[in-house]
Amino acid sequence: MNSLTTYLIISALLFSLGLLGILQRRNLIGMLISVELLLNAANLNFMAYNRFVSPDPVTGQVITLFVMGLAAAEAAIGLSIILALYRKMHSINIEAAQKMKG
Amino acid sequence: MENSGLNFILQAAFWGTVALTVAGAAIAIFPKNILYNVLGLALALTGIAGFYLFLGSLFVALMQLLIYVGAICIAIVFAIMLSRPLHIEAPARPTGKVLLGILASVVFFVGAVGVALKTKWTPAAGHVYKASQWSVEHVGDALLTRYELVFEVISLVLLVAIIGAVITAGFSRRISS
Amino acid sequence: MGALFRDPVLFATVLGTNLPFLSMAVILLFTRSKPFVSSRISVCSIAVSAVCAVSLLVRLFSAPALQYQTLWFSSDKLNITFGYYLDPLSLLMLTIVGIIACLVQIYSLGYMAGDPGYSRYYAFQSLFAWAMMNMVIAGSMLQLFIFWEMVGLASYFLIGFYYEKWSASQAGKKAFVMNRVGDVGFFLGLILLLIAFGNLGIPELNHAAVTHGLPQGLLTVSSLLIFCGVIGKSAQFPLLTWLPDAMEGPTPVSALLHSATMVAAGVYMFSRIFPFFSASPDTMAVALAIGTVTMLLSSTMAMVTYDLKQVWAYSTVSQLGYMVMALASGGYVAGVFHLTTHAGFKALLFLTSGIFIHEFHTNDMRIIGKKGGRKLKIPMVCMAIGALALSGVFPFSGFFSKEAILTVLASQPSKIWYAAGLFGAVLTAYYSFRLIFHILLPKGGIEEAHHEEHGASSHEHEEGHHGYIFWTMAVPVMILAGVSLVLGFTEHTLEHFLMRSIQVPGELVAPAAHAVSVAAHVAAGGAHHAHEAGSPLLTILGVSAGLLGIAIAWFEYGRKGASRNGFLSYFPAIWKLFDCRWFLDIFYRKGLDTLVYAGLTSLFTKNDRRVIDGGIDGICVFTEGSGRLFSFLQSGMLQFNLLLMVLGAGAAVLYFVI
């Protein structure tokens, strides 16, 4: 079943799971994990398109590499924010962080 | 392909990878223990690395293992250890929120699958699939010629992110102590 | 550019008219803090301008009218040209303006000495000279209008020169606003002409009026509207009260702007498009009535005031009324001739008054008389010459021009205009000599003690009489006195000179000679009348009117044991009426109060408070409320927001896919 549609459906499934995690987890680290899932789903899409339809065999790989780099940066920043937040509020529950309420 | 036995093995391996990935993703999402989540994430990321292999890019698969499984998951484990005492029980999940989340995810999934199925995908004019073109040489060549600027910018972003992470974590410690 | 240097006439025109602007720019930009340099720059540039004007007059004395023009912009049927029109009338006026402006600026060197706004004064004087000269030689009515407004602006600046003084700034505003009232009419008239005729060139306009190129109704309406501009600028009947108030400015300014040149701009414009005006008999009749009313009203006002400058201001208004009367009854040459002579002797009168005011620091003729005004011999003689010219006594210039006007008036079918003119002449002589006698033979003699009390100040005066300041003021005055003596004898030359420009349209219509050629005939005939048929009787009447006025003044103020009160003091009501300027100002004030302040302003206030403020408040309330409403969305729950976003995006995807 090596076809583009298979990969697309798999990545959609991963993405939906990540979305579900982001929407209902209250643990900030859990949300971060879900974000990683989302990014990977997108990466998988890029690679699949690169393999099946792209005219240039390199672009998709390069984009995937870049997204990985960005994910590393995002993880570093996100984790340090979580740490800072934990020191401040002694909790990493997202529902506790409501200081910006309008 | 020409060899049906090999083909069958490949198919089985592919679907095994699919099962692995989806199971890992489910573990990453559903259990309440955060440590299980990280392990599930590592599993799912490894599965995705497997997909990259199936797609023909050994290099990217290795990178996936190196960066995601090797670095990011470890960083998350560190964050867990630094932040949260594991024994504290989280309050029960509100049902409404879970249901709404599921609804949104399902809507998105249906939409995305609809797009994937309804579109008639045709390869672009210049599309060729040759394993030699997926080699590390080609990727490295592209990174240092066509995508050189992006490459530099990414490294700059990483530098800024590291400095930012240090400052965010470090300053808040100084403020709180 | 090449043509500019190859053609000496054009070069002189451009140089002469624009040099003052250059000097204004230099003064305002660079030398504002150096009064000495500023004044010399200004005087030098105006002197060059005057030389240019005179040389142009001499060079083009017997040449045909010259026209330089270039298309400024055009659209469809509309052609706006920009250029110069040098005919006898504009050359004459250019010379008048140049010479008098030059003399007044020299005079101001002394009069304004030590004033903190010395540089500013010269900058404004230069601005005025530039605007006025450009207005005079303008080739089209639109160009004339532009510089007409510039002249008004300069007038506003100079009236309000002592802006720290409340009354001066008020007077400036009054003059400006009243002028605008007239100018609105002027501008409407121009627009009407532009729409109907499509060309505002002065020669074209005159030519079209002469050849019946314009429908009679349009002609009448537009010329009446344009006449509004004359009313405003030349202080004619309904809008005459700004001119006396304009005397708040420095005296040289009054001499230059508010008697000799600027206020004459209205009359100049009248004569500039004289054929156009005279093609409409209705307009001419209205103008004649307005001129007469103005002349009489302002003469009566001048009979009761004790303020030196006010007397000459009223007198200016009445003389302008004379000019309008002359022009309106077809006396083109008479009107322009009176404009010329009046510029000379009225500038003379104002400048001599300035010497008195500078010396005694008061405007009241009684106090000047008591403090020994007659001891200043040069100004006293010069003022007497000016007053004689104003009253129309024989060898002086006023005699000739006033005779010309009276002759034209006498040729009108109705004799009432002539009678009014004669009566005005009596009043003119009366009020001028009332002033002269007040200073010359003050009530109760000169207070010698007063002078000796202030030894220091009298010593100062002694110096002043023979010092630099006195002579810078006295020399221009003496020049003007000389001009007033001889100018009258140039009447014939001037007449031939001027008739050249007006005969052009006359010849063009030769076969079906009508409106304007008639007017031109009247003009020519009127001027000839003075020295041919019927002239002895008219001359005798005119001279006797002047002498009668002088005699009444002598009887009341001059002779020994005279009451020195004036016969009007026996009628307090009339005195009050004249003194309050026929209640015109009060009438305007009441009208303004009821119409503008009670009516329009309160409406605007209500509009501002209710509609605009209310509207803005409403917008504020709405914004605040909606902001409050939307702030509910900002629940602080990150996942809730995300949920909404994903649902929205998912719904969009579903919509487009399915």
- Report B:64-123 residues touching C (Cβ under 8 A): 97, 100-101, 103-105, 107-108, 110-112, 114-115, 118
Whether B107 and C651 lie within 8 Å, measured CB to CB: yes
Strand partners, C307: C364
Cβ–Cβ contact A69 with B under 8 A: yes
Q: Which residues have a Cβ under 8 Å from the Cβ of C459 and sit 6 or more positions away?
A: none
- 3-state DSSP assignment of residue B2: coil
Q: Which of B76-90, C128-142, C160-174, C486-500 has the lowest mean pLDDT?
A: B76-90
Q: Quote the pLDDT of residue A101.
A: 65
Locate the chain B residue with the closest alpha carbon to C647.
Answer: B104
Q: Quote the pLDDT of residue B87.
A: 52
Question: pLDDT at residue C148 above 60?
Answer: yes
* Residue ending a domain, choose from C537, C553, C579: C579
Give the residue numbers spanning the domain of C252.
2-579
- Candidates C273, C264, C263; CA nearest to C226 is C273
- Candidates C642, C87, C106; CA nearest to A21 is C642
Q: Are residues C566 and C596 in the same domain?
A: no
Whether A79 and B105 lie within 8 Å, measured CB to CB: no
pLDDT digits (tens, 9 = 90+) for C362-406: 888 888 887 777 777 888 888 888 888 888 887 788 888 888 888
User: Across residues C462-491, what is the average pLDDT?
Assistant: 76
pLDDT digits (tens, 9 = 90+) for C338-360: 888 888 888 888 888 888 888 88
Residues in chain C: 658
Strand partners, C84: C68, C138
pLDDT-derived band of residue C419, with 50, 70 and 90 as boundaries? Answer: confident
Q: Quote the pLDDT of residue C519.
A: 46
> In this structure, what DSSP letter does residue C225 have?
H
Q: Are residues B141 and B82 in the same domain?
A: no
Residue C308 vs residues C101, C264, C302, C567: alpha-carbon distances, Å: 22, 21, 10, 19
Q: Which of B31-35, B158-162, C526-530, C550-554 has the lowest mean pLDDT?
A: C526-530
Residues B86, C420: Cα–Cα separation, whole Å = 117
Q: How is chain A split into domains, by residue range?
A: 4-96
Question: pLDDT at residue B173 above 60?
Answer: no
Q: Quote the pLDDT of residue C302.
A: 85
Q: Are residues B60 and B1 in the same domain?
A: yes
* Residue ending a domain, choose from C579, C596, C621: C579
Q: Which helix (H) or strand (E) holds C72?
A: strand C66-75
> In this structure, what DSSP letter does residue C73 have?
E
Cβ-Cβ contacts under 8 Å, C650 against chain B: 104, 107-108, 110-111
pLDDT digits (tens, 9 = 90+) for C590-624: 887 777 777 788 888 888 888 888 889 999 999 99
User: Across residues C172-201, what is the average pLDDT?
Assistant: 86
Dihedral of alpha carbons C96, C98, C104, C106, sign: negative
Residue B27 in domain: yes
Cβ–Cβ contact A99 with C under 8 A: yes
Q: Quote the pLDDT of residue C2.
A: 66
Cβ-Cβ contacts under 8 Å, C654 against chain B: 107, 110-111, 114
* Percent of the residues in chain C that have a pLDDT greater than 90, as a whole number: 6
Task: Write down which chains contact chain A via at least 3 CB pairs under 8 A.
Answer: B, C
Question: pLDDT at residue C97 above 60?
Answer: yes
Question: pLDDT at residue C532 above 50?
Answer: no
Task: Write down which chains contact chain B via at least 3 CB pairs under 8 A.
Answer: A, C
CB C552 within 8 A of CB C428: no
CA angle at B32 for the pair B29 and B33, rounded to the nearest 5°: 105
More confident call, C561 vs C596: C596
Cβ–Cβ contact C639 with B under 8 A: yes
Q: Are residues B8 and B84 in the same domain?
A: yes
Cβ–Cβ contact C643 with A under 8 A: yes
User: Across residues C175-203, what is the average pLDDT?
Assistant: 86
Cβ–Cβ contact A97 with C under 8 A: yes
Question: pLDDT at residue C627 above 70?
Answer: yes
Round the average pLDDT of chain C to a whole number and report it.
Answer: 81
Q: Are residues C491 and C604 in the same domain?
A: no
Locate the chain C residue with the closest alpha carbon to A15.
Answer: C646
Whether A83 and B124 lie within 8 Å, measured CB to CB: no
Q: Quote the pLDDT of residue C444.
A: 67
Q: Are residues C543 and C628 in the same domain?
A: no
Question: pLDDT at residue C641 above 90?
Answer: no
* Percent of the residues in chain B that have a pLDDT greater than 90, as a whole number: 27
Residues C526, C542: Cα–Cα separation, whole Å = 15
Residue C217 vs residues C78, C194, C272: alpha-carbon distances, Å: 21, 15, 21
Q: Are residues C575 and C603 in the same domain?
A: no
Q: Are residues B70 and B146 in the same domain?
A: no
Q: Quote the pLDDT of residue C593.
A: 76
Residue B33 in domain: yes
* Percent of the residues in chain C that have a pLDDT greater than 70, as a whole number: 89
Whether A16 and B71 lie within 8 Å, measured CB to CB: no
Q: Could you say which of A12, A26, A77 has the minimum Cβ distance to residue B90?
A: A26
pLDDT-derived band of residue C74, with 50, 70 and 90 as boundaries? Answer: confident
Q: Are residues C488 and C596 in the same domain?
A: no
pLDDT-derived band of residue B153, with 50, 70 and 90 as boundaries? Answer: very high
pLDDT-derived band of residue C531, with 50, 70 and 90 as boundaries? Answer: very low
Q: Are residues B85 and B145 in the same domain?
A: no
Among C629, C639, C642, C645, pick the best mutation site for testing chain A contact (most A Cβ within 10 A). Answer: C639
* Percent of the residues in chain A that have a pLDDT greater than 90, as a whole number: 35
Burial class (CB in 10 A: 0-12, 13-18, 19+), C553: buried
Count of CB atoms within 10 A of residue C647's CB?
A: 16
User: Across residues C1-17, what is the average pLDDT?
Assistant: 80
- Report A:8-37 residues touching B (Cβ under 8 A): 8-10, 12-21, 23-27, 29-30, 32-34, 36-37
Locate the chain B residue with the closest alpha carbon to A61.
Answer: B60
Question: pLDDT at residue B171 above 80?
Answer: no
Locate the chain A residue with the closest alpha carbon to B26.
Answer: A17
Question: pLDDT at residue A36 above 70?
Answer: yes
Report H helices in C361-411: 365-370, 377-391, 397-410
CB C197 within 8 A of CB C219: no
Whether C646 and A23 lie within 8 Å, measured CB to CB: yes
Q: Are residues B4 and B77 in the same domain?
A: yes
Cβ-Cβ contacts under 8 Å, A30 against chain B: 29, 34, 37
Nearest CA-CA distance, residue A20 and chain C, Å: 9
Name the domain count of chain C.
2
Q: Quote the pLDDT of residue B172.
A: 54
Residue B96 in domain: no
pLDDT digits (tens, 9 = 90+) for C208-227: 777 777 788 888 888 889 99
Q: Are residues C562 and C624 in the same domain?
A: no
pLDDT-derived band of residue B89, with 50, 70 and 90 as boundaries? Answer: low
Q: Which fold has domain A4-96?
A: Helix Hairpins (1.10.287)
Q: Which residues have a Cβ under 8 Å from the Cβ of C218 and sit 6 or more positions away?
A: C192, C193, C196, C197
Question: pLDDT at residue C516 above 50?
Answer: no
Question: pLDDT at residue B35 above 80?
Answer: yes
Q: Are residues B140 and B78 in the same domain?
A: no
Whether B104 and C654 lie within 8 Å, measured CB to CB: no
Q: Are residues C573 and C612 in the same domain?
A: no
Note the ipTM here.
0.87
Q: Are residues C195 and C262 in the same domain?
A: yes
Nearest CA-CA distance, residue A3 and chain B, Å: 10
pLDDT-derived band of residue B25, with 50, 70 and 90 as boundaries? Answer: very high
More confident call, B92 vs C306: C306
Q: Are residues C633 and C573 in the same domain?
A: no
* Residue ending a domain, choose from C563, C579, C595: C579
Residue B128 in domain: no
Give the residue numbers spanning the domain of B25.
1-90
Whether A97 and C631 lie within 8 Å, measured CB to CB: no
Among A8, A16, A20, A22, pick the best mutation site for testing chain C contact (most C Cβ within 10 A). Answer: A22
Whether C653 and B114 lie within 8 Å, measured CB to CB: yes
Cβ–Cβ contact A39 with B under 8 A: no
Name the domain count of chain B.
2
For chain A, report the end-to-end CA distance as a whole number of angstroms. Answer: 51
Cβ–Cβ contact A86 with B under 8 A: yes
Dihedral of alpha carbons B33, B35, B38, B39, sign: negative
Residues C281, C40: Cα–Cα separation, whole Å = 49
pLDDT digits (tens, 9 = 90+) for A50-64: 888 888 878 888 999
Among B128, B138, B144, B172, pick the best mutation site for testing chain A contact (most A Cβ within 10 A). Answer: B172
